[in-house]
C-alpha cells in the first residue's frame, strides 16, 4: 500500500501537525541536522519540536541526516551521534543518510563517497535501526557505485511524473514544491512503497538482527574502537560487510551476519584464503 509523506527540516517553522495529519499525510521524515566534515552532528534548531509534534499527531516518523562527512570515519561518528539524538523517540520509518551535490563529493572519489555512505549505514544497522540512503537518481548513478550499495534500502529523489531509477527503492521524493495544509510554503512530498511501520515493528528494539541473523565471523578483539576500525576498514575494502560489536568492554571486528553457523563458516574460510583469521561466533 502506497503511503503519502513529507520531509521537514529547519526551514519549516510553525507547523500545525494535527492539520498535516488531517490532510492525508501518513508519515514524516524529520531532519535531525547535518554533520561537519569530521562527522560531528549539528542538530537542527527545530528537530525536537518537529519530531515531537509529528509523533503527537499520530504520524509515523523517521529521520535523516544531511552529510558533509569527508571520510568513512567521520560518517561513523555522525551515525553514532544521530543514534544518540533519536534514542528518546520511537521511530517507525528509517534513519536516512542524505548525500547531495556538495563539492566534496562531486569533486572527489566515487569510491570514497560510496565508503562514506556504507560506513554510516552499517553503523546505523549495527545499532539495530533501519538504515536508508537518500540521494537523487542522478547522484546515485554518477557519484556513487550502486553495485556496492545494493544491501541498503534507498530513498530516491526525482522530480518527475514517475521515478525511473533502475535501482530498487522504498521511497520516492517526487517534488520539492508540494503544498500541505498546516505547513506554510512549499514542502517536499514523498511516496512510500513499503510498510515501514510493520517492518520496524518486527524488529526487536535492543538489536533486532541478533534474533534472525545471530552468527558472525569474529576477526579480532581490540581494547579501543580506533584500533578495531583499522582492521574493519581493511577488511571492508575487500568487499565484506563489517561492523563492530562490543564484548566485555572490547571492540570486536565482525564480518557478516548469518542465520546459521554453516553460512558463517563459509565466509570464515573465504577470509582465511585472503589472509584474515576469523572464528565463527555470535555477535
Return the pLDDT at 205: 45
pLDDT band for position 4 (50/70/90)? very high
**Residue 201 burial (CB < 10 Å; 0-12/13-18/19+)?**
exposed
Q: What is the dihedral of CA 136, 140, 144, 146, to 10 degrees?
A: 150
pLDDT value at residue 104? 97
Write the DSSP assignment of 21-57 as a string of letters: HHTT--EEEEEEEEE-TT--EEE-TTHHHHHHHHHHT
CA distance from start to end of the chain: 35
pLDDT in the model for residue 109: 95
| Per-residue model confidence as pLDDT tens digits over 40-75 | 999 999 999 999 999 999 999 999 999 999 999 999
- Is this prediction's pTM over 0.85? no
Confidence at residue 263, expressed as pLDDT on a 0 to 100 scale: 83
CA gap 85, 78 in Å, rounded:
11
The residue behind cell 562531486 is: 106
Structural contact between residues 98 and 60, judged by C-beta atoms closer than 8 angstroms:
no
Q: What is the pLDDT of residue 206?
A: 42
**pLDDT single digits (tens) 118-171:** 999 999 988 889 999 999 999 999 999 999 998 899 999 999 999 999 999 999
- The arithmetic mean of pLDDT across residues 219-248, rounded, is 81
Identify the structural domains of the chain with CATH numbers, from first to last.
Answer: 3-201 (3.20.20.80), 213-282 (3.30.70.1070)
Per-residue pLDDT at 245 exceeds 90: no
What pLDDT shows up at residue 75?
A: 96
Distance CA 279, CA 265 (A): 8
Question: Contact at 8 Å (CB) between 36 and 86?
Answer: no
Q: If you average pLDDT over residues 102-106, what whole number do you get?
A: 97
Give the model's confidence band at 103: pLDDT under 50 very low, under 70 low, under 90 confident, else very high.
very high
pLDDT per position as a tens digit, 176-233: 999 999 999 999 999 999 999 988 887 744 444 455 678 899 999 888 877 888 898 8
Amino acid at each position: 500500500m502506497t503511503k503519502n509523506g513529507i520531509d521537514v527540516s529547519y526551514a519549516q517553522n510553525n507547523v500545525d501537525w494535527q492539520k498535516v495529519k488531517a490532510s492525508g499525510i501518513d508519515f514524516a521524515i524529520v531532519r535531525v541536522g547535518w554533520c561537519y566534515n569530521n562527522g560531528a552532528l549539528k542538530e537542527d534548531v527545530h528537530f525536537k519540536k518537529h519530531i515531537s509534534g509529528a509523533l503527537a499527531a499520530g504520524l509515523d516518523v523517521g529521520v535523516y541526516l544531511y552529510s558533509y562527512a569527508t571520510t568513512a570515519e567521520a560518517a561513523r561518528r555522525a551515525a553514532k551521534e544521530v543514534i544518540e539524538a533519536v534514542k528518546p523517540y520511537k521511530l517507525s520509518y528509517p534513519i536516512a543518510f542524505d548525500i547531495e551535490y556538495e563539492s566534496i563529493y562531486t569533486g572527489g572519489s566515487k569510491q570514497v563517497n560510496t565508503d562514506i555512505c556504507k560506513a554510516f549505514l552499517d553503523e546505523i544497522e549495527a545499532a539495530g535501526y533501519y538504515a536508508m540512503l537518500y540521494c537523487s537518481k542522478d547522484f546515485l548513478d554518477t557519484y556513487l557505485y550502486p553495485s556496492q550499495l545494493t544491501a541498503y534500502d534507498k530513498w530516491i529523489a526525482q522530480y518527475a511524473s514517475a521515478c525511473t531509477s533502475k535501482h530498487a527503492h522504498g521511497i520516492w521524493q517526487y517534488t520539492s514544491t508540494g503544498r500541505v495544509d498546516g505547513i506554510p510554503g512549499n514542502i517536499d512530498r514523498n511516496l512510500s512503497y513499503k510498510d515501514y511501520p510493520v517492518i520496524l515493528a518486527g524488529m526487536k528494539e535492543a538489536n533486532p538482527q541478533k534474533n534472525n541473523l545471530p552468527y558472525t565471523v569474529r576477526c579480532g578483539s581490540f581494547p579501543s574502537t580506533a584500533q578495531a576500525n583499522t582492521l574493519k576498514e581493511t577488511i571492508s575494502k575487500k568487499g565484506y560487510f563489517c561492523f563492530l560489536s562490543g564484548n566485555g568492554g572490547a571492540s570486536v571486528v565482525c564480518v557478516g551476519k548469518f542465520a546459521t553457523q554453516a553460512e558463517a563458516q563459509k565466509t570464515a574460510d573465504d577470509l582465511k584464503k585472503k589472509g584474515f583469521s576469523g572464528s565463527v561466533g555470535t555477535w
